A and B are shown apart, each in its own frame.
Chain A
């Protein structure tokens, strides 16, 4: 897939184009340009480094939403092996915005579920842009419970702008579907790992995100509200989204600093879509490491630690 450049990546692209130009003209005219090409290459590397190591929160949000990024199913098929998809919530339907099933990662057989986006309009209509209905959350709970029954850990891959705000979703109680997962995941008798791979949009993300370990990819975000939504309310205009992204403290590093997540998984320079193989490997190593640690713990300790971890979230005074 052709990578669609983001606005702040323009300097990198310009240099890449210049370099390609130089190469092709040298080939055509048989001139030796090695010295100049080397200089350009050096400059390109420097520019890349400068841009990609100093990404602002808003730039990370844009990378998190990049359509060429690996999506949940890519990880399920590549970071995991032997993925078997299982459909349906046994109540109403199957939610294509949240595929899941059985898969193996490292030595761990587990149940896995994630929000799935599409890369083009047709696929996005099928996947509902990664916004799940209640059926998705109920399928997730069904899979978790099945895993609990058969001693399989549960892994979730979070990538959603939010749970779907639609008539059907409300009629079938999206609120309750999410709430029930929050309550049940806290007491699930099996190790759980959640990874934010792209967008961690509010309750829709948390609905499969209460886990023993919560990890975030370097260029993902996790927030109580989208930067645009926050800007519209607090700055009275969506154009202030970059400031809102800053204020919300939504990047992996910020949340690690606040103690709300356990690890930031690094991405290839410029984002997971620049080198999918590396991204897929990084996720596999991180999830495997955490499952290795968690599967060593006695169940009682696991549940106590999980409860204590979420229990301590909150900052207040006067008590």
Chain B
């Protein structure tokens, strides 16, 4: 116990901002009104920091109006392992469904981008960190298979904390399942573009997200296999500047191009018009 206590210059009461109305940019500390942020595609108007974008907003931003035909909209996860931790899997699913209005962590379907038809999947990080369980794996696999069937290109916009622990090895096997479907899609000479957004890690980075014919990433997105804390603890090494950012991966040869969110639609169309032969 110290004799002298530090005088408090601040009042105990923090200046409270009405929650849900304003967000502070983690990069430049700018306060941005939620509505403005949403209208700006969740990109900071001052410094271009890319916030996490809900899947529904991203689909709307990327595709031609009224062209998204959603697939498997009602598919939901089940608690096969009867997983009991601090909270049961079933409870967790229910609370995220309520919070996000989504059934699970990915939206899939056919759509058009500037008149070009394709299979599109968008993951939503707000749903249990967009971890991949059976539903994510199955919806992606069906989308890829249907696209192979219809001879369409595939675009997957990834964001994920990795595999979904609550489904044990079943979730692990989704990595093999999705990559297997991609192998058949690729064998038909159909293009697959992977778009990595913040953050794309673990079992998702180690499966479909890194094997695009073209790999794109959003600016400053964190992409990697292991988390930086795990790497630091395992290796007792300082991590290089900008480690595991999209820019780092571009410089190390994994990412073809960093694309600003507002240019994504245009870029996808341009790339696909080179790669996809519509006979």
Contact = CB atoms under 8 A, between A and B. Distances in A.
B86 interface: yes
Interface residues of A, number: 54
Interface of B: 72, 74-78, 80-81, 83-86, 103, 134-135, 137-138, 141, 163-165, 167-177, 179-184, 186-187, 202-203, 205-211, 223-227, 230-231, 234-235, 237, 239-240, 243-244, 249, 252-254
Contact of B80 (A166, A176, A234, A315): A315
Contacts of B170: 258, 260, 313-315
A176 B135 contact: no
Contacts of A26: none
A242 to B, nearest CB: 13
Interface in A156-194: 163-167, 169-176, 178-180, 182-184, 186-187
Nearest to A255: B169
Contacts of A236: 86
Given A178-B207, A233-B165, 7 more contacts: A178-B206, A187-B180, A234-B86, A247-B168, A248-B165, A313-B177, A317-B78
Contacts, number: 200
Contacts of A258: 80, 169-170
A180 B254 CA distance: 12
17 contacts: A163-B226, A170-B225, A183-B186, A209-B176, A222-B172, A223-B172, A224-B203, A225-B163, A234-B165, A249-B81, A250-B168, A310-B173, A311-B180, A314-B134, A316-B75, A317-B78, A318-B76
A319 B134 CA distance: 12
A182 B176 contact: yes
A169 B84 CA distance: 34
Contact of B75 (A166, A222, A310, A317): A317
A216 to B, nearest CB: 11
B85 A234 contact: yes
A179 B168 contact: no
A202 interface: yes
B165 A203 contact: no
A176 B210 contact: yes
A147 B139 CA distance: 33
B211 A179 contact: yes
A212 to B, nearest CB: 13
Contacts of A207: 206
Interface in A270-319: 307, 310-311, 313-319
B169 A315 contact: no
Q: Which 4 A-B pairs have the closest CB atoms?
A: A165-B226, A234-B85, A314-B134, A182-B179
A318 B167 CA distance: 17
A310 B176 contact: yes
B235 to A, nearest CB: 5
A230 interface: yes
Contacts of A202: 163, 172, 203
Contact of A316 (B134, B181, B182): B134
A310 B211 contact: no
Given A206-B172, A223-B169, A248-B81, A187 B207 contact: no
Contacts of A249: 81, 168-169
Given A167-B235, A317-B76, A175 B210 contact: yes
Contacts of B167: 224, 315
Contact of A182 (B103, B175, B243): B175
